[in-house]
Amino acid sequence: MSAKISALTSGFKLLVALGAVITFAGCSSLPPAPKEAASAEYSYKIGPGDNLNIVVWRNPELSMNVPVRPDGKISAPLIDDLNAMGKDSTALARDIEKELAKFIRDPVVTVIVTSFVGPYSEQIRVVGAAAKPQILAYKQKMTILDVMIAVGGITDFADGNRASILRTAENNKQYQVRLKDLIKNGDVSANVEMKPGDVVIIPQSWF
């Protein structure tokens, strides 16, 4: 008899817990994401996977296209293992000039980023019930709509209006985003700007 009572009690607790989860799923206590988030001072930072065109004025033999290795470094003529990750193109050009100055007089270097991935800390990650969850390179003024187009939208089982943005640039603060309203209903008021390092979390619907 006591075993039956214990089982019934456990079952009741489970139903209460599920009810609490479902109730929470029907609403969100998260603040809405701000419409504008991009910084006017943003400057693109180089990351692993980027391709760089290094131009050394009057020294075409030292000019070349190089990839940024997974460790964030580059190698070029007269340059071994120079860190590029997290620098903008101007800062990297100055560092290359310092290295080349050991071999040639007054080098003038220009660095042009020709393909963009960016550092891991600035990439946009989309997880959960997206059609194609993936990692995207951040672009200035990128919006949640741009992100949704890149990942193919949300699945039929997504609870789009309970989606959220985890903003790593703000100590992992979370904001609510209304993806269903934006994608399914065309409500452009639900479109918001992204910040570098944002994580878009799309839960599944309970129904």
CA-based torsion, 82, 88, 93, 94: positive or negative:
negative
- pLDDT per residue as tens digits for the range 88-146: 999 999 999 999 999 999 999 999 999 999 999 999 999 999 999 999 999 999 999 99
- Is 50 exceeded by the pLDDT of residue 41? yes
Query: pLDDT value at position 19?
Result: 37
Residue range(s) in the chain whose domain bears CATH number 3.10.560.10: 123-207
- Is 70 exceeded by the pLDDT of residue 49? yes
- Is 60 exceeded by the pLDDT of residue 13? no
Top-tier CATH class for 51-115: alpha beta
Query: pLDDT value at position 207?
Result: 64
Q: How far is CA 162 from CA 36, 142, 153, 180, 189, in A?
A: 20, 21, 15, 9, 16
Query: pLDDT value at position 62?
Result: 96
Residue range(s) in the chain whose domain bears CATH number 3.30.1950.10: 51-115
Which DSSP string do the residues of 8-71 spell out, in sequence order? HHHHHHHHHHHHHHHHHHT---SPBPPS----TT------TT-EEEEEETT-GGG-EEEEPPTT
Tell the CATH superfamily of the 123-207 domain: Outer membrane lipoprotein wza domain like (3.10.560.10)
- Is 50 exceeded by the pLDDT of residue 75? yes
